[in-house]
Copies of this chain bind each other. A is one copy, B any other.
Amino acid sequence: MDFEYKMVIITRKDLNLSPGKLSAQVAHAAVACTLQTKKKNPKWFNKWHIEGGKKVILTAESLDDFFPLKKKAERLDIVSIIIEDAGHTEIPQGTKTVLGIGPAPTNLIDQITSDLPLL
């Protein structure tokens, strides 16, 4: 099946997070992007949700890669949220861990992140 809508969540290779920490950060981004898109662009949210809510996890080398991606998403009016870790384990509090983008039409998201490899 081809999905017309998706969300992507971009992780940082340089942080080397444990699977538990990593999945919690990805979940934070997914929930935050879902709720913000539901409010800001209910049409996109509904179409994505009805299709099954596709989520793709990608990976970037480091935090520096997040900012140009976020800027591109903003120019396309797509929700983009950087998650800061609130915890006290593994990494310093306030570390920017993941970037969530979408949900939005697949062809728009691909204009932003098609160069990034899957995690």
Which residues does A use to contact B, with CB under 8 Å? 9, 11, 18-20, 22-24, 26-32, 34-35, 49, 52-53, 55-57, 59, 86, 118-119
Contact = CB atoms under 8 A, between A and B. Distances in A.
A31 B28 contact: no
Contact of A57 (B9, B23, B30, B32): B23
A44 to B, nearest CB: 14
Contacts of A86: 52
A86 B34 CA distance: 19
A27 B9 contact: yes
Among A27, A59, A86, find the residue whose CB has the most chain B CB atoms closer than 10 A.
Answer: A27
Contact of A26 (B11, B18, B26, B118): B26
